[in-house]
Structure formats: structure tokens, C-alpha cells
Amino acid sequence: MENEETEYDYKKLKEAGKVSADALKHVATVIKPGTKLSDAAESIERFIADAGCGMAFPVNLSTGAEAAHYTPEFSDQRVIGDKDVIKIDLGARKDAYLTDCAMTMALDPAHLKLVEASEKALEDAISLVKSGRSINEIGREIEKTAKSCGFNTIRNLGGHGISQEELHADIFIPNFDNGDTTPLEEGQVIAIEPFLTTGVGYVTNGESIQIFQKTGDVMPRSQDSRDVLNHITEHFSTYPFAMRWLIKGMDGNEFKARRSIADLLNAGDLEAFPVLVEKSGGIVSQAEKTLIVEKDSCAIVT
């Protein structure tokens, strides 16, 4: 919940939610075999900007066993294949109000049941949301649906609370019954996001790291690194950003951007978000919506 002394602007939240939902509809026009992931990401991010919102975080286009946090690299040459299962995770920002939503597209019909199962798990979970509902009950319902469809949930990923300027706040909403009986509160903004998989149900860090977030203000010795930190502060504030965004902002000076990012990580100024990969190589599907908890139900924002 927000501080009671701060009036929460649900109108701005809903504006960002509508743009996010519209962006997910736009996704179908760009996620096609033969399209570069970088072109797809830039098209989605441009759609959100043209609608008058900022990005809550770089659009994630994670494929196959990648569960989350893959955003295209600068000059990324990866192309969408006709067998890919792609998670599209995005969020729009209106001032300090953030939304988060996701869908999965299975270009290979063999994985449609997995995608449908994650969507059903989300629907079943949303049907339980109301003030006073314990978060482990939501997780239990997600896993129940997943198991009934023949899949596992990913246990070390889940939903979360959303507060002003903070995408992951307050609570963690599991994809299984983790025993946490913390009750939802009326007016609380949350994201529920079932991750289902054909694998064992855990993710580990992969090699690619393309998303970062400012967490400190320690000025490094290098002038280049100071320039990059100032650029991050001015253009991204404390919201997550993509390496490709930074390199473009540095007029394409990839060496300066990458060297400075390493310096800033070492100084503790940044947090890095590696791509998350299913431990056993299982295919992953994701579905997600942002909600406002109400007394007897919830309002879907995205």
C-alpha cells in the first residue's frame, strides 16, 4: 500500500495500463518469423512512446528456455524463428506510475497447450484476488492449474507489488503455495505472472546481461564513467534501462558505454539483471496482468 499521506493517482496508473494493453495488441503485428528481435523491440517501445508514456523497463523478448530479462543487444542480429516460443514482457510508465504485463506467442503449434495453460493459470489466479486474500492461496491456485494441464510452475519467479517509481515492491506473489499468508489490501497494486514450463521449474542466470538499473551515486574516477553515470541519471533516473539505449545515447560509442558500465557495476552504482534461463532447458511460457485489489474482487489495469 502507498503511504496514506500520499494520494495515489489511479487515473495515471490506468492511463499507463491502457497503453500497455494496447502495446500487447501491437505485438501481434511485429512478432513474426524472419523479423529481427531488435526491430520488434524497437517497434513495441516506439508504440509506447508515441502513446505518450515512458517505459517502465526495456521490453523483454525471451525465447524458448529463456524465462525473462532478455532484451535485444545493440546491433542484435537474432531473428525470430518459426518454432520459437516468445515471452513478450512490457510495461508503460505515466510519470511515477508503472504497469507490467506479458503474453507468450507460440509460433510452433506444438507449444500452444503450454501457452494456454499459463493464460488459464492467470485467469484462475485473478478470480481469487480480493482484499484479505492471502498470497499463498493465489500461488496454490496457479500451481493447481499448471499441474492439471501437465506443466510445472517456476518456483523462483512470480508476481509482485507495484508502487510509485518501484516496479517490484511490497510483496512477492508466488507461483505455488509457499506458506506466506500475507493478506492483500484494498487499493494495493499488484502484478500476477504465472511462469509455466516443461522443465523442472527453476531458473538460473544466463550469460547475457543487457538490462541495468541505477542504485547508487558513487562518482568513479574515470571521466568517461562519470559522463555515462550522468547520462543514466538524466535520461533513465532509477528506472531499468537497456544497454542498447545507453549506446545510442552515447552516439554509438559502444566501447565507452560497455567499459563504463563495468566500472559503475564495480563501484556499486548499478544493478545488473541477467537473462533468466530454465535450469533444465525446459520451454517457458508467461502471462501477466497488473491489477488493483478491491474489497470483493479486483480491477484489471492492463
Convert the pLDDT of each residue in 244-284 to its tens digit: 999 999 999 999 999 999 999 999 999 999 999 999 999 99
User: CATH 1.10.10.10 residue ranges in the chain?
Assistant: 212-273
pLDDT of residue 3: 45
List own/partner pairs for 258-262 with CB under 8 A and 24 or more apart: 259/224, 259/225, 260/220, 260/222, 260/224, 260/225, 260/227, 260/228, 260/229, 261/212, 261/228
Point out the catalytic residue in the list 45, 73, 119, 193. Answer: 193
215 and 166 Cβ atoms separated by less than 8 Å? no
pLDDT of residue 1: 43
The backbone torsions φ and ψ at residue 18, rounded to the nearest 5 degrees and listed phi first, read -65, -40
pLDDT of residue 170: 85
Task: Return the closest-CA partner of residue 271 out of 194, 226, 216, 200.
Answer: 216
Q: How many alpha carbons lie under 13 Å from residue 212 in its C-beta half-sphere?
A: 30
CATH architecture of structural domain 10-205+277-300: Alpha-Beta Complex (3.90)
Point out the catalytic residue in the list 76, 89, 143, 263. Answer: 89
Active site residue 193: yes
Point out the catalytic residue in the list 168, 177, 186, 231. Answer: 168
pLDDT of residue 6: 61
Point out the catalytic residue in the list 26, 69, 111, 160. Answer: 160
Q: How far apart are CA 223 and CA 187, in angstroms?
A: 45
Q: How far apart are CA 28 and CA 66, in angstroms?
A: 20
Active site residue 26: no
Mind listing the pLDDT tens digit of every residue in the chain (302 residues)?
444 446 899 999 999 999 999 999 999 899 999 999 999 999 999 999 999 999 999 999 999 999 999 999 999 999 999 999 999 999 999 999 999 999 999 999 999 999 999 999 999 999 999 999 999 999 999 999 999 999 999 999 999 999 999 999 989 999 999 999 999 999 999 999 999 999 999 999 999 999 999 999 998 889 999 999 999 999 999 999 999 999 999 999 999 999 999 999 999 999 999 999 999 999 999 999 999 999 999 999 99
Active site residue 288: yes
Point out the catalytic residue in the list 66, 119, 278, 288. Answer: 288
pLDDT of residue 7: 83
pLDDT of residue 188: 97
Domain 212-273, what fold? Arc Repressor Mutant, subunit A (1.10.10)
**pLDDT tens, residue by residue, 182-226:** 999 999 999 999 999 999 999 999 999 999 999 999 988 899 999
Point out the catalytic residue in the list 100, 141, 143, 263. Answer: 100
Active site residue 137: no
The grid coordinates listed for 292 are 488493483
Residue spans of beta strands (DSSP E) within the chain: 54-55, 60-63, 66-68, 85-90, 92-94, 97-98, 101-106, 152-153, 159-163, 166-173, 189-192, 195-197, 203-214, 241-242, 270-278, 284-286, 289-293, 298-300
Q: What is the pTM of this model?
A: 0.94
Give SS3 for 143: helix
190 and 208 Cβ atoms separated by less than 8 Å? no
User: CATH 3.90.230.10 residue ranges in the chain?
Assistant: 10-205+277-300
